[in-house]
Structure 1
Amino acid sequence: MKTISVVIPNYNGIDLLEKNIPPLIEALVFAKTRWEIIVVDDASTDLSVSFVKTKYSDIIVLSNEKNMGFAETINRGIFLAQNDIVMALNTDVTVDKNVFEKILPRFNDFDVFAVTPNIIDPRNGYNQAIYRLKPGFCWFTDRCVQLAKIDSRQEVPLFFSSGGSSCYDRQKLLQLGGFDPIYKPFYVEDVDLSYRAWKAGWRCVLEPGCSVLHEANTTISKYNKRRKIKFIAAKNKIIFLWLNISDVKLVFLYILFFLPSLVWDIVSFRKYKLIGTFMAFCHLPEVVRARRKRKALFLVKDFEIIKRVSL
């Protein structure tokens, strides 16, 4: 059985840690393998750190001196982790008892990079795990598919594995450098990581035999205004395309539809993409440097990946 390290990024999540650490430990013990839990605190102002240190002496706790955002925070735990598999787990996720028993054997397949359980919103039963691509007006859009709509007897490929409740092959994760901090403070980091894995020839898949519970869009919304979240998401989606798309035809299509999509954004009174574009341009030198570093692992063509993960 593979061994497992669980890395939990935390910001003012003492109530969530108190709720979700006990079922996590139960699931780890049930898996009958070596395990560790690493909590990385992102400069919380509550009593999260003292709570974990006092109640769970076996849990490793790292503390940021200042707020660093998701990627840099979770990467500290990833780089410290010692076991075969790393689970990135948000504080607001409750794991089922069998989650590791089901997921860990999937990594016996060498080409598997990430495995994601069903991610169920307990308020409505909605499954947040299965994202696929669909052609849009100017580009592709992603759509969340429900498990009942697909044949789960076959392997279920995912456009991306959620960075809040997925397990990753640690060696491959380190080879990719973890989550990219260019997306600071949040959003699209997990999409980027998964897509880089696909381009390197690895797979992101669903494990339909187990689940975690997660109330969607609660934690980030608690600390950020909705409009700000939309601007950041738009900016990061643009950076994702600049960093990763390399097929000539797709690059041409992106350039062709770039201005029309901005015009549509303006006339529809949204302006999220317009402002997100200006925000993205501030990172252009950083994007250029990062893209050069990534090119060595651009082994699979974009169209091949899109074919695998499209509706």
Structure 2
Amino acid sequence: MSRSFTGQLAVIINSYNRMSLLKEALPAIEKTLLNTPVQSYVVVFEAGSTDGSRQFIETYAKGSAVKILCISPPPHLPGTFSDGCNYAIEYAAGAISNLKWCFLYETDNYISNHSALSSALAIIDENESMGAIGFTVEKLDGSKAGYGQKFPSVISFLLGQQLTQMLKLQEPRPLWVKEQDHRWTYCDIVYTSPLLVRYDAWKKVNGMDSINFPFSDSDNDWCWRLLKSGWKCAVLDVQGVVHDNRTLTSSWSSKRTLDFHQARYRLLKKHKGDIIFLIKPLLALRHLSELAILALGMMAGRKKKENLTARLSLIKRVMMNYSHIS
């Protein structure tokens, strides 16, 4: 697109021990920004990597045609995903005059379609009630990856992730709006990988809730609060926007099963109310049945002991709202 956009844009990257991905993600976003008619900066929240990521970022920044700012969390700030987004956007707002757009871009993102961001900017700029827009992301092999979902329900939490996925209870139901050479749709929850955000919308809901959702469900809670504040999320159907960690998981993902249940319980209590208390006995029964199935699988050599340990932990915690046991 040839049109230009008012205001300035800050790309926000959370970085922690994923330098192999960062080496591809950073040049890709630089090329995209050079093909996007808006003044842009990159702000990398470096959460204390020990794999040389910070040194790579600082060296790359010296030769980049785009201004790249590498920042670290202050001593009092945990290096969580939500804290990183909040701090980096707050920093960008102070360092960049007339900040209008924030582009949440992760180390496992890669953009080969350098017009995708311009198309997303055009759509969100023309729709004043749109607070954020993501993309129908794909993996490096071209297969589609998940871009978002419907708001979670108490029933889906009770059934568990596998049954919910099998029954497609949270799968988006897109109603595509066609405009010239692209199409887009509204979606309840759009994942932050990547996600173009209107800065005014971010400010309206005070960013992410880093206390209750440091990692898991941080984007779910943010999108829910966004809707309650009068903003909508959308998805642009486009090729060449990649979300693929290539099996390189971050240490942020090491307790995903436990963190998911704790965060999902908090999410539903926050947005659905105290009805969540009533299903705790049923959640305990689900965990017991999962434990039995996993035990049989481990005896047959098909399941790992770690899966069993995670379910035992859930059983111990469920009646205490999945809180940590001291």
Structure 2: state its 5+ residue gaps: 179-183, 292-310
1:203-222 correspondence to structure 2 within 5 Å: 203-215=232-244, 218-219=247-248, 221-222=249-250
Partners in 2 of 1:15 and 1:128 — Cα distance? 23
Deviations 1:9-66 (A, max 9, x none): 1002222222111121111111111111000100111221122112213201101366
Is contact 1:43–1:65 with CA below 8 Å preserved after alignment? no
Partners in 2 of 1:271 and 1:114 — Cα distance? 39
1:192-271 correspondence to structure 2 within 5 Å: 192-215=221-244, 218-219=247-248, 221-223=249-251, 228-246=255-273, 251-252=274-275, 254-269=276-291, 270=311
Partners in 1 of 2:236 and 2:128 — Cα distance? 16
TM-score using structure 1 length: 0.77
| Identity percentage of aligned residues | 17
Structure 1: state its 5+ residue gaps: 284-311
1:176 aligns with 2:187: no
- Residue of structure 2 equivalent to 1:153: 177
- Residue of structure 2 equivalent to 1:77: 88
Partners in 1 of 2:232 and 2:213 — Cα distance? 25
CA apart distance, 1:113: 1.0
1:5 aligns with 2:5: no
- Residue of structure 1 equivalent to 2:79: 68
Q: 2:30 is matched by which residue type in structure 1?
A: I
The farther-off stretch of 162-171 and 137-146 is 137-146
CA apart distance, 1:223: 2.7
Equivalenced residue count is 274
Partners in 2 of 1:202 and 1:123 — Cα distance? 34
Deviations 1:117-165 (A, max 9, x none): 111122460231142358646758574658xx85533652222121231
Distance 1:119-1:137 versus aligned 2 partners, 3 A rule: closer
TM-score using structure 2 length: 0.74
Q: 2:194 is matched by which residue type in structure 1?
A: S
Larger Rg: 2
Partners in 2 of 1:60 and 1:130 — Cα distance? 29
Distance 1:172-1:35 versus aligned 2 partners, 3 A rule: same
Q: 1:265 is matched by which residue type in structure 2?
A: H
Deviations 1:51-106 (A, max 9, x none): 21122132011013665211111211111223211011111100231121111112
The farther-off stretch of 174-183 and 132-141 is 132-141
Distance 1:47-1:79 versus aligned 2 partners, 3 A rule: same
CA apart distance, 1:178: 1.1
1:120 aligns with 2:142: no
Q: 1:266 is matched by which residue type in structure 2?
A: L
Is contact 2:21–2:245 with CA below 8 Å preserved after alignment? no
Is contact 1:234–1:276 with CA below 8 Å preserved after alignment? no
Partners in 1 of 2:9 and 2:148 — Cα distance? 23
- Residue of structure 1 equivalent to 2:122: 105
Is contact 1:234–1:272 with CA below 8 Å preserved after alignment? no
CA apart distance, 1:275: 4.8
